[in-house]
């Protein structure tokens, strides 16, 4: 029964309003919506109710797997832990975190890797996983634009 509920949530979140969430965050933070989607797929398998515990005692919440270390900063914006289970809120927060990484590290795979790990080597491994979750059409478009 729980599995059916996850399927229903996933199907509901593939609707037009879900697309609007990805697009809104992409425009607001100047980040490609497909990249945000690939991060969510890598982080949670697109499961808005996902929660994962880390060895260091922190935990990751929701679709974009927002780490609990962000909770004090998010409270200043009126966002609490429960709100991170809302897919649109999770996407907005994930895009905000990635945008901070990009300001610090440039528009690069290092910035994508830093979304998951402060360790550069682990971050680049993570970035490769994200890259593999990008849609093929986007990769073909990127190739054409660069050449």
pLDDT digits (tens, 9 = 90+) for 38-64: 999 999 999 999 999 999 999 999 999
Residue pLDDT, tens place only, 71-115: 999 999 999 999 999 999 999 999 999 999 999 999 999 999 999
Bridge partner list, 52: 60
- Identify the pLDDT of residue 19: 84
Bridge partner list, 51: 61
What is the model's pTM?
A: 0.83
- Identify the pLDDT of residue 140: 55
- Beta strand 59-61 with 66-67 is antiparallel
For 2-146, give the CATH class.
mainly alpha
- Identify the pLDDT of residue 145: 42
- Identify the pLDDT of residue 142: 54
The residues near 114 (Cβ < 8 Å, ≥ 6 apart) are 101, 104, 105, 123
Query: Where are the domains positioned within the chain?
Result: 2-146
Q: Quote the mean pLDDT of the chain.
A: 88
Which ranges constitute the DSSP H helices of the chain?
A: 2-12, 16-29, 33-44, 71-75, 87-105, 109-116, 120-132, 136-146
Task: Please give the Cα distance from 107 to 100 (Å, whole number).
Answer: 10
């Amino acid at each position: 029964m729980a599995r059916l509920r996850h399927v229903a949530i996933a199907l509901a979140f593939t609707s037009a309003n879900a697309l609007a969430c990805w697009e809104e965050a992409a425009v607001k933070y100047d980040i490609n919506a497909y990249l945000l989607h690939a991060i969510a797929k890598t982080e949670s398998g697109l499961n808005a109710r996902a929660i994962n515990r880390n060895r260091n005692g922190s935990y990751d919440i929701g679709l974009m797997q927002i780490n609990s270390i962000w909770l004090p900063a998010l409270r200043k914006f009126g966002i609490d832990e429960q709100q991170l289970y809302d897919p649109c809120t999770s996407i907005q927060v994930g895009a905000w975190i990635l945008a901070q990484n990009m300001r610090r590290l440039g528009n690069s795979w290092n910035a994508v890797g830093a979304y998951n790990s402060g360790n550069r080597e682990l971050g680049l491994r993570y970035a490769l996983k994200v890259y593999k979750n990008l849609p093929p059409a986007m990769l073909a478009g990127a190739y054409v634009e660069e050449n």
